[in-house]
Structure 1
Amino acid sequence: MRDLSDLMAQRRPDVPTMDNFPPEVGRRLRLQRIAFKWRQADLAARAGVSVQTIKAVEKGQAVSSWNLLRILLALNQGADFLSMLAAPHFPNLKAHEQYVQLTGAKEPNVLGRRVRSTPATAKKKSEKA
């Protein structure tokens, strides 16, 4: 019988590295733009960014997250982007439980909350209290 980690490894693709992620995003956005029969100038106008920004994204170069979001919205990817954020991949069960706790409340107040980087930080704070 296989365990959960075996099943999860089969389900999820490998996590991309920073070296291959931007070019892959650029390649996929370029393919979608071409499928729409848009020129780079057409997408730039719809997204409210420069043609140079479209060229940079398609080459896998760094662009601001704001510009990338504008391009995604111009390509009608807004709902997909939000659904991806609504169903994140968690590194472990504890992280999933924390997410459920934060989103399960009627009005979660996550602004101003700090994320503890190590268990040692949590111990220090509890000792001070």
Structure 2
Amino acid sequence: MPYRVLADGIAVTHLIFLLYVMFGGFVAWRWPRTIALHVCAVAWGLASVLVGFDCPLTHAENWARHRAGEAGLPPAGFIDHYLTGVVYPESALGPVRVLVAVCVLVSWVGLWRRLRRVSYVASGVTRQ
């Protein structure tokens, strides 16, 4: 029982990480100092997609599930098991990846504009 709870907690943590990759740039609109953490999370997510290495959270969940006497995640991993075919159709994987990239870029451009506007206001420069 404790290993199953641990595995479920790891799965929730994994989902939160994925949501942070997608929306963390918007979090930085409120707390700009978090942008470095978001850049690292995006770099990790991008590298895992491009290079194809396994996430340590997937390994941790598999370990806990095996200890609980359950089957682990399939070799495809967390996203393919919990999201693809469940939250969005398998045929939409490419567009979903593009949507995530667009969301990240929009959040970063928005943050850049907000910070630029704040620096204008702080310096006393006004637009004419």
Tell me which protein shows more helix as a share of its residues.
2
Shared fold (TM-score greater than 0.5)? no
TM-score, normalised to structure 1, is 0.27
Q: Which has the larger radius of gyration?
A: 1
